[in-house]
Amino acid sequence: VRAVLLDPSCSGSGMRHSDTSYDPERLKHLSAFQKRCLKHALSFPNVRRVTYSTCSVYREENEDVVIEVLKEFGSDFKLIPCIPKWERRGLMDCEGLTKEQSKCLLRVDPEKDLIGGFFVACFQRKKKKRKRLSKKRREKKRRRLLLDE
């Protein structure tokens, strides 16, 4: 598995015709489930990109999930911009996210955009830096290659 599109169960608060009132207890359970799902997706050893989306407008299911997951996976993954030309980005006042990270997130506001609201975050695995061989080891490797010819 190299790429995952994760769209877990959510409150549906971004749906224009839904009657989803703000329920902190329900959001607590939903966000815990969403965090578990996202952590699982990021734990696949060969996964390079994970896209997380919800049809929610609530911070608890969006930025807060991303913040919590980055605490554990931030050394291996970074946020990358999704649909860079889209105007509305992640919330800028979130403790735990830099402004650059918030700019990578995408939000759709049902009132302003006249479509269902949703959120998207794209995680990309960071490239591991290769250790540079010492001059002595490079020479030894070159000799071995020459001998094999």
Q: For 66-89, write each residue's pLDDT tens digit.
A: 999 999 999 999 999 999 899 999
125: left (phi over 0), alpha (psi -120 to 50) or beta: beta
pLDDT the model gives residue 138? 74
pLDDT at position 100 over 70: yes
User: Which of 2-11, 28-37, 124-133 is predicted least confidently?
Assistant: 124-133
> In angstroms, rounded to a whole number, what is the distance separating the alpha carbons of residues 89 and 81?
9
The first and second tokens of residue 49, run together, are 């990109």
Provide the 3-class DSSP secondary structure of residue 99: helix
pLDDT the model gives residue 132? 66
Length of the chain equals: 149
94 versus 131: the higher-pLDDT residue is: 94
Q: Where are the alpha helices (DSSP H) in 1-149?
A: 24-42, 63-73, 99-104, 110-113, 135-148
Cβ neighbors of 24 (< 8 A, separation 6 or more) are 60
Average of per-residue pLDDT values in the chain: 90
Residue 130: which pLDDT band, with cuts at 50, 70 and 90? low
pTM of the model: 0.83
Instruction: Please count the other Cβ atoms lying within 10 Å of the Cβ belonging to residue 92.
Output: 12
Q: What proportion of the chain, given as a percentage, has pLDDT over 90?
A: 73
Give the residue numbers marked as catalytic. 55
pLDDT at position 133 over 80: no
- Mean pLDDT, residues 49-65: 97
Residue 136: which pLDDT band, with cuts at 50, 70 and 90? confident
